Structure 1
Amino acid sequence: MIQQKVATHQWFQDSVVYQIYPRSFQDSNHDGIGDLNGIRSRLDYLQKLGVDVLWLNPIYKSPDKDNGYDIADYEAIQPVFGTMTDFDQLLADIHEHGLKLMMDLVVNHTSDQHKWFQASKQSQDNPFSDFYIWRDPVDGHEPNNWGSYFGGPAWTYVPERGQYYLHLFAPGQPDLNWENPAVREHVYDLMRFWLDKGVDGFRMDVINFISKPAGLPDAPQPTGAKYGNVEPMVADGPLLNDYLQEMNREVLSHYDVMTVGEMPSSVPADVVNYANLNGSELNMVFQFEHVTLAANPDARLGKWNDQSVKLVDLKHALNHWEMDLDGKGWNSLYWNNHDQPRAVSRFATDDPKYRVAAAKMLGGTLHFLQGTPYVYEGEEIGMTNAHFTELTQYEDLESINGYHQIVDEERATDATHMLKYLENISRDNARTPMQWDASQNAGFSDATPWFGLNQNYVQINVATALAKQDSVFYFYQKLIQLRHQYAIIRYGSFEPLDEEDPQVYAYRRHLDGQTLLVESNFTTDTLTRNYDHPGNATVLIDNYGQDAGQTLRPYEMKAYLYSDAEN
């Protein structure tokens, strides 16, 4: 068996990251919106869980057309979250708790309220005129057929310039022109601003979209669709490696930081460059393969579906990333985040009979893989999808626009089906307020929350989890402790087992004469499997609390550690 060796271990490889969606985490000033001081009040909880790094979604000044991903001022705090003084105190407290802080870097686009864009749109001849991607009309229409991720065309016309500007997302999120060296230098300056404050890294929003193809040609257009599918055109553009290497050379290499790039459509052959172990670009990426497996057979509907994920497909997706990056790059490990539905609802079940076992099983399956694990707020207590049933209950721009485009404009499906798709996959499933206890508003706020609560907060909450030693919380705490304790979990090479088994996900990890065997039952059935390990193998963890040998109970997950000499 080939033993994987990492020449130099870096702190990000030993870390577990906890993602905080500030708006939904904890309100401290009675306005129903989470804030920086609310996060400060929960640092003891996060320290108890055992995580190493906190990642905050954007907290910058913003018109909030996309909940902070449209930034109007990169060096100012959104007032509803607090002040820069509040941020400085939060950062100091995070470090005092032995934790690190990773900020969200959104530099594919800005807000249309940013001073750069306000100047750029005034004319075709000013210092900021080339900061964004402008094109002349073609036959009186948009420059190409590109569609926005949030519905409608990816172009908006500005009479002052007599041109269209590109926005891959909302019209309020114009794309920056990275081919302009002045844009890149302004981005590097704002990165230095936060790094000089002492932040410990960046998560980089859709960073693989910053290099656009020459000539901006038309995109593939599904039959019956109004606009072209832009992602194949903008993902992993021709100058992306150059830009990331320059960013590393000019900024990142001068600080001891952690970086992860969000990269839709990226494949391992590209990621071994973006996240190589020599540190010339980024530390790791968020790939999307495993969270885009289920799809609607009607191409016009894009991501919107109510399909379950097939385990064989899931294993193939995760396994090849493990093997293809082994010894070459570094994986990020995640089930869900602010843009994805709740993990237990999507990949297992939120049936109350099995939810706890299923949530633990998913956690164990992921945390024993090679890479840096990410825990999204509430995942550690097994929070579920909200199961909203009416469009008025949704807040997310993508969800609402998608509904209107697909149901009202294109009539690709009816309202009933579209609401089922939103219930399954809308980003809003992840954005309901954190469920702290069974009191009014789940302990999130004593005011009406900015967004609707998941009504199961009375049963599923932190207070209940902390009171039960067999809760999802303590299982996650144990997973994090084991990762810190055993080098094989962090660095061991990966060996898939029975990849075509539609019920069980099993794999081995190998390092320095030891083997780790992981078995996870993704069904409600009681199964029997024999993966051939010595009788004296140590059971590191079992979500049922006691090993039943070759028997795998519903949603059971267990891990064995043994010496190769014993087998």
Structure 2
Amino acid sequence: MKANWHRNTLIYQIDPSLFYDSNGDGRGDLKGIIRQLDYLQALGVGALWLMPLYRSPFKDAGYDVSDFMALDPRFGSEEDLRQLIVQARERGIRVILELVVQHTSDQHPWFQRARRDKNSVYRDYYLWSDEPVDDGNQPIFPSVEDSIWRWDEQAGQYYRHLFYRHEPDLNLANPKVVEEIERIMVHWLELGIAGFRLDAASHLVEQAGRGDEEQGVWVLDRLFKYMTRINPEGVLMGEVDVEPERYSHYFGSGERLGLVLDFWVNNHLFLALARGEAEPLRRAISQRPAPPDGANYAVWLRNHDELDLERLSEEEREEVMQSFAPQENMRLYGRGIRRRLAPMLDGNVHRQALAQALLLSLPGTPIVRYGEEIGMGDDLSRPERLSVRTPMQWNDQANAGFSSSQSLAAPVIDEGPFAYTNLNVAHQQDDPDSLLTRTRTLLLARSRLTEVGDGKAQLLSVSHPAVFAIAHVCDDTSVMLANLSDETVDVQLEEMDVQGFEEVLADGPYPHSPKSSLTLRGYGYRWFRRTGSKQQQHHGE
């Protein structure tokens, strides 16, 4: 099963510039992550997903890459990355890097050469046109860019950019570009990384197919083959924000993406939280195709971008907005929410723990964003998506213990209920009722329930609309329940009797009750498990 480690791990997403500053320059770095590896190990983390580390002008948090083969000096050296990989591995933690190859920075030497000379081999590395072309695509950031085409005076043509104007799109249909990407992959894989998170994977595939997704999946076949030649256990985790019936293109039969980031379930999870009802989440899970052997979905609550709600209907989207982003400055791009999870849930520790329990019960590999385990807030005074990108809050010392510098990569949150002075790791570390303690208990318990990653998921019918219930059946069987409402409920499980199951985790102690009827407090959760030996005994009775 080792080759499928990604089906049964916990991924922790880190923005390296905002996690921990080891040298006092105001920016987080690789040595800072190394210093916090014991903290991450104690959370039960099995893999780190690091946001971009490459050389960059940093107009887009490093997603605007100017040199894929070099680390940006602000993060440290290649030796630092090698040390992180080695020391993480000693703690059973793998390292996943971003692969940002749908576009480059306009400062990348390829683009500089392309714009200077129409006959350069690099000209065809990008997408050019004498006139803007309507290819059905709209700007990804509609409030910032009004077109996906930008006139370049030096080149004498328009170039295409789905994202920002300083991020020209690569021509992935050009085999030479794909060869360049393979060289990039080799460079980082040989350092010992466990795989890549493929940024904008669905756009990348369309570009490789000249606008046709089904024609473009060859690029995933090729990148997967290339990666597994160097690291047979390597994984590609793809950002695929498409309708669920299209997910199968990205999985193939397991030889493309090992993990598909599931925006469909993510959107419906928030609709379920907004309604306090399980039905949207049940519906979303039942409508997505089963992943092939060896592959899985990746599931999460919040990430580094806006909470993009495009997979919901207009009415459903507005319902989630009204619940979690009632004010205009909490919304972004006409489709999403630019808030962290904790403020969306009013800082309610019980509700945040319930959201984590719900996430960890889903069929899929869970991702937790740094700071979510302590309930970090956001800074809505920062532009666009930067509102959810603030320094990690380690303690109540200056700069939240993130850095000793006077000048930081981003301001710390120092006002309101989410200020670092009262919300930080140190305050919560030994408090049995804190969100950190609750989340750590959940994460560690989930890491031991291998049937959630390896087994077959079965949605369970219950007698109350607020309760989400699911079983994961393998050699062992787990049953997980979560109450999305704030009221205590009693439920009957209709398909599965938990007689003979052991309660492995709950939001607090529950009085003994007949197993046919289960009580859940408001925002309560309970996990039960029966091991293989007990199952055989049960079936033999």
**TM bucket by the smaller chain?**
0.7 to 0.9
CA contact (8 A) 2:82 2:192 kept: no
Letter in 1 for 2:237: V
CA contact (8 A) 1:526 1:553 kept: yes
Aligned to 2:505: 541
Counterparts of 1:213 and 1:280, CA distance in 2: 20
Counterparts of 2:208 and 2:64, CA distance in 1: 25
The normalised TM-score by structure 1 is: 0.79
Counterparts of 2:73 and 2:274, CA distance in 1: 40
Aligned to 2:236: 259
Give the direction of change, closer, same or farther, for the CA distance of 1:20–1:214 in structure 2 (3 Å limit): closer
CA contact (8 A) 2:262 2:299 kept: no
Shift of 1:178: 0.7
Shift of 1:317: 5.3
Shift of 1:322: 6.7
Match of 1:559 among 527, 531, 535: 527
Aligned to 1:433: 391
Counterparts of 2:157 and 2:393, CA distance in 1: 47
Counterparts of 2:509 and 2:404, CA distance in 1: 38
Letter in 2 for 1:478: T
Give the direction of change, closer, same or farther, for the CA distance of 1:214–1:363 in structure 2 (3 Å limit): closer
The aligned runs of 1:37-186 (5 Å cut-off) are 37-137=31-131, 146-150=137-141, 151-186=145-180
Match of 2:248, SS state, is helix
Counterparts of 1:367 and 1:19, CA distance in 2: 15
Aligned to 1:30: 24
Letter in 2 for 1:52: G
Match of 2:473 among 507, 510, 520: 510
Letter in 1 for 2:373: E
Aligned to 2:313: none
Aligned to 1:394: 382
* 2:202 is equivalent to residue 208 of structure 1: yes
Letter in 1 for 2:395: D
CA contact (8 A) 1:361 1:520 kept: yes
The normalised TM-score by structure 2 is: 0.82
Shift of 1:471: 2.9
Give the direction of change, closer, same or farther, for the CA distance of 1:534–1:281 in structure 2 (3 Å limit): closer
The aligned runs of 1:289-300 (5 Å cut-off) are 289-292=264-267
Aligned to 1:404: none
Aligned to 1:382: 375
Aligned to 1:423: none
Q: In terms of mean alpha carbon deviation, does 360-369 or 128-137 score higher?
A: 360-369
CA contact (8 A) 1:274 1:284 kept: no
Counterparts of 1:144 and 1:500, CA distance in 2: 49
Identity of aligned residues (%): 31
Aligned to 2:492: 530
Counterparts of 1:556 and 1:428, CA distance in 2: 32
CA contact (8 A) 1:334 1:374 kept: yes
Match of 2:213, SS state, is coil
Q: For structure 2, which runs of at least 5 residues remain unmatched after alignment?
A: 308-338
- Which deviations, in whole Å up to 9, do the C-alpha atoms of 1:319-361 show, x marking residues without a partner? 2267633768412121121114433444xx234xxx2212221
* 2:459 is equivalent to residue 493 of structure 1: no
Give the direction of change, closer, same or farther, for the CA distance of 1:107–1:309 in structure 2 (3 Å limit): farther
CA contact (8 A) 2:363 2:453 kept: yes
Shift of 1:9: 6.2
Aligned to 2:365: 372
The aligned runs of 1:425-464 (5 Å cut-off) are 427-447=385-405, 448-454=407-413, 455=415, 456=418, 457-464=420-427
Aligned to 2:431: 468
- Which deviations, in whole Å up to 9, do the C-alpha atoms of 1:493-545 show, x marking residues without a partner? 12223489642222222224x54221111122222222263454311100124
Shift of 1:547: 5.5
CA contact (8 A) 1:539 1:547 kept: no
Match of 1:121, SS state, is helix
Query: What is the aligned residue count?
Result: 487
Shift of 1:122: 1.4
Q: CA RMSD in A?
A: 2.9
Shift of 1:313: 5.8
Q: In terms of mean alpha carbon deviation, does 441-450 or 468-477 score higher?
A: 468-477
Counterparts of 1:459 and 1:200, CA distance in 2: 36
Runs of 4+ in 1 over 6 A off after TM superposition: 213-216
Match of 1:342 among 336, 340, 343: 340
Counterparts of 2:99 and 2:364, CA distance in 1: 21
Match of 2:184, SS state, is helix
Shift of 1:247: 1.5
Counterparts of 2:136 and 2:452, CA distance in 1: 47
Counterparts of 1:275 and 1:17, CA distance in 2: 19
Counterparts of 2:464 and 2:387, CA distance in 1: 30
CA contact (8 A) 2:251 2:292 kept: no
* 2:190 is equivalent to residue 199 of structure 1: no
CA contact (8 A) 1:322 1:370 kept: no
Counterparts of 1:488 and 1:196, CA distance in 2: 32
Letter in 2 for 1:433: P
Shift of 1:555: 0.8
Counterparts of 1:17 and 1:201, CA distance in 2: 12
Q: For structure 1, which runs of at least 5 residues remain unmatched after alignment?
A: 1-6, 217-233, 296-304, 400-426
Counterparts of 2:94 and 2:351, CA distance in 1: 30
Shift of 1:200: 1.3
Give the direction of change, closer, same or farther, for the CA distance of 1:23–1:530 in structure 2 (3 Å limit): same
Give the direction of change, closer, same or farther, for the CA distance of 1:160–1:323 in structure 2 (3 Å limit): closer
Shift of 1:372: 1.6
The aligned runs of 1:235-246 (5 Å cut-off) are 237-246=213-222
Shift of 1:288: 1.2
Shift of 1:453: 2.5
Counterparts of 1:383 and 1:147, CA distance in 2: 33
Shift of 1:211: 3.5
CA contact (8 A) 2:254 2:292 kept: no
Match of 1:65, SS state, is coil
Shift of 1:31: 2.6
Aligned to 1:320: 286
